[in-house]
Amino acid sequence: MASLIFVTGGVVSSLGKGISAASLASALENRGLKVTMIKLDPYINVDPGTMSPFQHGEVFVTEDGAETDLDLGHYERFIRTRMGKINNYTTGRIYSNVIAKERHGDYLGATVQVIPHITDEIKQGVEKAAEGFDIAMVEIGGTVGDIESLPFLEAIRQLGVEYGRQAIFMHLTLVPYLKAAGEVKTKPTQHSVKELRSIGIQPDVLICRSERMLTEQERRKISLFTNVEERAVISAVDVDNIYQLPVYFHQQGLDDIVLEKLGIEANRSYLDDWIEVDDRISNTQHEITVAMVGKYVDHSDAYKSLSEAVRHGGLRQRIKVNIRAVDSSTINREGLDSLADVDAILVPGGFGPRGFEGKVKAIQFARENNIPYLGICYGMQAAVVEFARNVCGMEGANTTENDIDTPYPVIAMITEWLDATGKREIRSEDSDLGGTMRLGGQRCRLRPDTLARKVYAEDVIVERHRHRYEFNNNYRAEIKQKGMVLSGVSADETLVEIIELPEHPFFLACQFHPEFTSSPRGGHPLFNGFIEAALRYQQEVRGALPDGVVRL
């Protein structure tokens, strides 16, 4: 039976529960323990798949095709365990499961209530996800005191009683520093713990976010008023990069404290890989700028995995990557000046017509000026549209998502292009937006002698998808004839997965989302190749290649 570590947050949201939990999990995994992570989200959506990125941030997709909270992306970047559908439960999913059981008669006519039926469903989900692991870290979304999180808090309280010493509670809280008074204030932390204790949960460890390290006196005061052991009051200040956190927490003895409280003996901790990652981030030798041309650039979490993957791509060559966010909807009004001095252009995934034409113009700019280009999902579809219009002479080419009456539907739903007429058979408004996508890990075959094959160094890859529309096979021959290479196709050869332009220094776009499998310790082949191509472009414009830069 796995030991459980429950992670809650107080005072304010966005303190970094997910990253803190993942950092601790990484330190524990590094000591030879098998660790998994679970996120319990209080919102009523069954999953975040239909939620706007402006409200919720990105939707992270797991190997088994679940649309989940972005914290699962943090989990996978910090630990080696792959997440799945069982690692993320929402209020909506829990209630949906309970209602389905009630309709099926599973409760034998009992009155279905929050306690015990909802809480039992939560507990069963946690225990199912924890099976086969030494430790399961369970993060509860939201802030203590929120009405919607009460069933989850009650469920973990019950699990704490049932598991005894095999369960501990870690609470993340804010210790603000008031410059006018010249001191930190512990009262918000005291009240947050008081709120937690009022529902029967006594934290074993406190992670205190503050602008500076807590003094011994401040930690002693917090310990006194919260009934938490003084050495278990851990400082969490802002670090230069989040990948310093496993080492940072280890230096304060957090993993030792947790294992001691759980009664677990483990190997010594060797965090050499995280020290190496930090060194590569802190001691760069080159610097480039990548323009990310998207429609959600005003929300920092909307492209979280993608931003991280782009930066991971520079670590192998010690390249600092500056990401310039460009709102694609402004390109038509303001022109392409924002792209004039960049070293590479990236167009991420997305949905809908807003900003699409700006993406197409940015892609045309990259193609015509030999600027390295990487397209992700919608970025591939936009690249096909741009090529069809400006190289193949298909005036008005588009995706049927944006123009139902386009004369050249080069991107369409499979149900559309299977009809030789290309006319739309099923409108998007006729379908359930939460269940019509190609989701999760799928195999892709790479063509020999292509950039994709060279970058991946494999014949078959598995990547994660999240999209509805596909490359229209009715236009394959014509587009290939004009020079576009279809370098990756689905395992059954029916769907185009990767396109590239062989005469371009680096022009590649994929239908899937490679950012979901990138990690700071290894990067990802596509992003490694893309960033290194950006450095070559920069250096070839300014002069000779520097020593040590690897040519693909």
Say whether the peptide bond before residue 116 is cis (omega within 30 degrees of 0). yes
As a whole number of angstroms, the distance between CA 466 and CA 64 comes to: 12
Q: Whose structure tokens read 């995280």?
A: 274
Q: Decide: helix, strand or coil at residue 459.
A: coil
**Roughly what angle, to the nearest 10 degrees, separates helices 119-130 and 91-104?**
110
End-to-end CA distance of the chain: give it in Å, rounded: 48
How buried is 432 (Cβ within 10 angstroms: 0-12 exposed, 13-18 middle, 19+ buried)?
A: exposed
Distance of CA 490 to the CA centre of its chain: 24
As a whole number of angstroms, the distance between CA 436 and CA 432 comes to: 6
Alpha carbons within 13 A on the beta-carbon side of 520: 25
Q: Six-digit token pair at 2? A: 């796995």
How buried is 345 (Cβ within 10 angstroms: 0-12 exposed, 13-18 middle, 19+ buried)?
A: buried
As a whole number of angstroms, the distance between CA 304 and CA 349 comes to: 12
Q: What are phi and psi of 134, to 5 degrees?
A: -75, -40
Q: Decide: helix, strand or coil at residue 40.
A: strand
What sign does the dihedral 301-306-307-308 (CA atoms) show? positive
Q: Six-digit token pair at 333? A: 């009004």
Secondary element (H or E) of residue 504: none
How buried is 300 (Cβ within 10 angstroms: 0-12 exposed, 13-18 middle, 19+ buried)?
A: exposed
* CB 532, CB 539: distance < 8 Å: no
**Active-site residues: which are they?**
377, 513, 515
Give the number of residues written for the chain: 552
As a whole number of angstroms, the distance between CA 218 and CA 231 comes to: 12
As a whole number of angstroms, the distance between CA 258 and CA 268 comes to: 14
List C-alpha distances in Å: 339 to 292, 311, 327, 345, 373.
Answer: 10, 19, 11, 8, 12
Amino acid at 410: V
* CB 35, CB 130: distance < 8 Å: no
Q: Six-digit token pair at 518? A: 């990138």
Secondary element (H or E) of residue 365: helix 356-368
